[in-house]
């Protein structure tokens, strides 16, 4: 299992990522009757269009699908092939998302591998503000050899000083992460806590709060990482990307 931020490196050429403009966005919405969460990485081409790669997760089941394709300049026409592997080339497609992505909204139709229309979708980059969010969370989550514990207290969108504590451990090495001592920073689409380069962001995905870390490697052992967590309304945690069963 790899942290989510490594996905872009797995699906985009390293040279392009180093030389061209790249953006990463999170979108939430509906795929048919299902709630979905997308993370897309877009690299701008010389003609003004974009190469796009990423994934979506069906929040109810945590089913995960990887995406790769293109977004046109100006009109934002977007076609993304869908599959079960981060490297789609050489693997059978499970579907295709066709639509328009502009003004922060991606909407259209999902087609099956044979080209049959399956369901409509609409997702948005405009994630809700969490200025009214209040919760006291203390939970644990596990997947395979990965273990994580999380605690925080937020009242009306404000983090209680000293309450944030996120730890993880990866077996069999036993390498661990420990993220504490964070302070609140301004964030329009959620809540953000940081100390130095390390930051943690909370996003409202509807039935869940996503908790994700960025630039926190210095707080982790060489083989450890912080896998994003989903916190439900009862304060229970789930690993966003559970390890596949053997």
pLDDT in tens, 130-187: 999 999 999 999 999 999 999 999 999 999 999 999 999 999 999 999 999 999 999 9
pTM to 2 decimal places: 0.84
pLDDT for residue 9? 40
Q: Using H for helix, E for strand and C for coil, what is the string for the chain?
A: CCCHHHHHHHHCCHHHHHHCCEEEEEEEEEECCEEEEEEEEEEECCCCCEEEEEEEEECCCCEEEEEEEEECCCCCEEEEEEECCCCCCCCCCCEEEEEEEECCEEEEEEECCCCCEEEEEEEECCCCCCCCCCEEEEEEEEECCEEEEEEEEEECCEECCCCCEEEEEECCCCEEEEEECCEEECCCCCEEEEECCEEEEEEECCCEEEEEEECCHHHECCCCCCCCEEEECCCCEEECCCCCCC
pLDDT at position 218 over 60? yes
pLDDT for residue 19? 59
In the chain, where the domains are located: 4-124, 135-239
Closest of 45, 41, 94, 30 to residue 65, by C-alpha: 94
| HSE value, Cβ hemisphere, 13 Å, CA-based, for 231 | 24
Alpha carbon separation from 112 to 82, 83, 93 (Å, rounded) = 9, 11, 9
pLDDT at position 57 over 60? yes
Tens of pLDDT, residues 70-127:
999 989 999 999 999 888 777 888 999 999 999 999 999 999 998 999 999 999 999 9
pLDDT at position 17 over 50? no
What is the C-alpha to C-alpha distance for residues 61 and 57, in angstroms, rounded to an integer? 8
- Fold observed for domain 4-124: Lipocalin (2.40.128)
Sign of the torsion formed by the C-alpha atoms of 33, 35, 41 and 47: positive
Distance of CA 106 to the CA centre of its chain: 16
| HSE value, Cβ hemisphere, 13 Å, CA-based, for 180 | 8
- Percent pLDDT > 90 in the chain is 82
């Amino acid at each position: 299992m790899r942290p989510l931020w490594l996905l872009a490196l797995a699906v985009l050429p390293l040279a392009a990522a180093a030389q061209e403009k790249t953006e990463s966005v999170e979108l939430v919405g509906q795929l048919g009757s299902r709630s979905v969460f997308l993370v897309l990485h877009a690299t701008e081409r010389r003609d003004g269009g974009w190469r796009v790669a990423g994934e979506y997760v069906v929040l109810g089941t945590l089913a995960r699908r990887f995406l790769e394709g293109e977004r046109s300049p100006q009109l934002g026409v977007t076609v993304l092939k869908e599959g079960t592997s981060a490297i789609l080339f050489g693997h059978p497609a499970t579907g295709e998302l066709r639509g328009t992505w502009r003004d922060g909204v991606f909407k259209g139709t999902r087609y099956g591998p044979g080209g049959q229309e399956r369901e409509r979708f609409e997702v948005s980059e405009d994630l809700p503000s969490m200025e009214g969010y209040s919760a006291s969370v203390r939970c644990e989550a596990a997947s395979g050899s990965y273990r994580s514990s999380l605690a925080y207290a937020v009242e009306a969108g404000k983090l209680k000083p000293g309450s944030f504590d996120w730890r993880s451990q990866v077996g069999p090495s036993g390498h661990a992460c420990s993220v504490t001592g964070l302070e609140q920073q301004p964030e329009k689409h959620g809540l953000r806590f940081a100390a130095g380069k390390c930051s943690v962001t909370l996003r409202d995905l509807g039935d869940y709060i996503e908790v994700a870390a960025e630039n926190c490697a210095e707080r982790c052992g060489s083989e450890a990482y912080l896998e994003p967590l989903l916190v439900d309304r009862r304060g229970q945690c789930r690993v966003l990307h559970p390890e596949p069963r053997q």
